[in-house]
Structure 1
Amino acid sequence: MSAAQTTRIGIVGWGAIGRVVGSALMEGALPGAELTCVVDNRPLGEAAPAPQLTFEQAIADCDLIVEAAGQGVVREWGERVLAAGTDLLVASTGALTDEDLSKKLLAAGPGRVYFTGGAVGGLDLLQAVRAMGPLSEVRLTTTKLPSTLEQPWMDEELLGRMRTATGPVEVMSGTARDVPVKFPKSTNVAASVALAVGDLDAVHVSVVADPAAEHTSHVIEAAGAHGSYRFEVRHLPDAANPATSQVVPYAVLRSLGAVVGRTGQIL
């Protein structure tokens, strides 16, 4: 940090998440933090409220990098950010389904890596329960509009069922190890739940397409020897990027507040 104890923040990705987070920082919404630069593979010109730098420049100039551009950025740059002594806040937690990458990031340094919970709640409680013993069952059901779930690997039969559906259609079921890989922009929540539980294979995930889904919903159900738990959240999709929820950039800002030491923070 600088002598004035201001955290210099760089944002990677000037999209639905980055724009909200960057604009809030520029407006002084987070005392003790300032937007130093933006990194994006597109020339932003006057659209960027701070200098647009290369990733290498951002690492050198910033105390903390916010990843808001997708799992590929975490894979390509995560270790390099941390090795340079810069902290990293990851929004695309789906990248951590790669256990080798996860281990490397957690072992890297001297920079520190943080993960934001994004569009889901209850992760703190799941972590607390996990400390008492393993959970015997963890299920996540994610429901979104069919158009936000279409993927290049889908065959015509599945795409046809999704596009003509008049009610909910299960698109995929599997573990938190498998599902985020297939939906890199839509199922970061699955990886976040698995990080809280501590086991990718213990979380069973169902992805549902529903043409009537005005809200994106995530339902977490967990049970163990010490109790049972159920969390349900329903969010409006972001207008610019319906694959993500409107709340995600504000979850990133909350995480930033905890990192830079905002007083009175619920942790």
Structure 2
Amino acid sequence: MLRVGLIGYGAIGKDLATYFDGSKHELDAEIAGILVRSPEKVQEPPYERCVITNKEDVFFGLNLDVVIEAAGHHSVELYGEKALLNGCHLIIVSVGALTDDNLFSSLKKAAMSSHKQLIIPSAAIAGLDRIHAAANHTLHEVRLVSRKPPRAWYGTFVEEKVDLATISEPVCVFSGNARESAKLFPESVNVSAALSLAGIGFEETKVQVYVDPSIERNSHEITAKGHFGEVSVKVQNTPLADNPKSSYIVSMSIVKALKSLQSPVVIGV
């Protein structure tokens, strides 16, 4: 059984915890510990035996096999390298943190030295396996168009650009490369960072971001062209009830990654 540690216990962490029931989801794992800033605020831990702590030494002393980061870019900076050097596989949600080339380099070195993996799940998008395979030859173009309804943008700088309460038609709030988008939208466009790492890099991956009052679900459309041919993938994700910036599929993707660490058969890599 995998001993799993969570960093962060917000909307994604709570949704992820619902999958740790072998009778329902065939996941042979348990959440051994959760690292959060305020343990007293965790009112519904996944198990009575789960350790809730704000002390990193306690957390990393739990003999963990896998650490899952779901607490934002800064948590990757604080704990990513330590997780790997402590002999844990590291699954990160806040992929936009890897726009920092020095951070990404240090995480790769830590993974190599500990013989563990830094795992970037597909999360909110589809087609990363094909893009990553295509990058073994020539990729000419990779584009991402992300659309989210107005409620997903409250609490972001988009509120300064668009009246979210009265918007009546789609508005493009960003057009540029993936490095810029991942920094501007740390909670909302981590997908652009994952796509860049799978394909042709942050500078060459083109991104557009829309506030779209005509939709209810978070939408991401990827197009790519290269030696392999062409691909176009569009997904429409149901937003998390507690955090419309993210989607239920994120937890499902993490569960897939955990199963792949255990299974004799791995599909879609």
User: Which TM-score applies when normalising by structure 1?
Assistant: 0.90
CA distance in 1 between counterparts of 2:121 and 2:243 reads 19
Structure 1 residue 203 and structure 2 residue 205: aligned? yes
CA distance in 2 between counterparts of 1:152 and 1:175 reads 19
Structure 1 residue 141 and structure 2 residue 136: aligned? no
* Matched positions, count: 258
> Once the 2 structures are TM-superposed, how far is the Cα of residue 226 of structure 1 from its aligned partner?
3.2
Counterparts of 1:139-178 in structure 2, within 5 Å, are 139-150=143-154, 153=157, 156=160, 158-160=161-163, 162-178=164-180
Change (3 A) 1:246 1:45: closer
Q: Could you list the runs of 5+ residues in structure 1 that have no partner in the other structure?
A: 1-5
Write the letter of the residue equivalent to 1:142: S
CA distance in 2 between counterparts of 1:31 and 1:136 reads 39
Write the letter of the residue equivalent to 2:162: L
Q: Could you list the runs of 5+ residues in structure 2 that have no partner in the other structure?
A: none
Q: Which residue among 112, 116, 119 is the counterpart of 2:121?
A: 116
> Once the 2 structures are TM-superposed, how far is the Cα of residue 20 of structure 1 from its aligned partner?
2.2
State the secondary structure of the residue aligned to 2:104. Answer: helix
Change (3 A) 1:31 1:140: closer
The corresponding residue for 1:7 is 2
Q: Percent identity?
A: 30
Whether the 8 Å CA contact 2:153–2:159 is kept in 1: the answer is no
> Once the 2 structures are TM-superposed, how far is the Cα of residue 179 of structure 1 from its aligned partner?
0.4
> Once the 2 structures are TM-superposed, how far is the Cα of residue 45 of structure 1 from its aligned partner?
5.0
Structure 1 residue 132 and structure 2 residue 147: aligned? no
> Once the 2 structures are TM-superposed, how far is the Cα of residue 159 of structure 1 from its aligned partner?
2.8
CA distance in 1 between counterparts of 2:241 and 2:42 reads 23
Counterparts of 1:47-86 in structure 2, within 5 Å, are 47-48=44-45, 49=47, 50-53=50-53, 54-61=55-62, 62-86=64-88
CA distance in 1 between counterparts of 2:187 and 2:178 reads 14
Deviations 1:182-221, CA, capped at 9 Å, x for gaps: 1111001101100110411111000000112211100001
Deviations 1:103-158, CA, capped at 9 Å, x for gaps: 1111114143111110111010111111122x1111100000123224554584x1
CA distance in 1 between counterparts of 2:77 and 2:258 reads 21
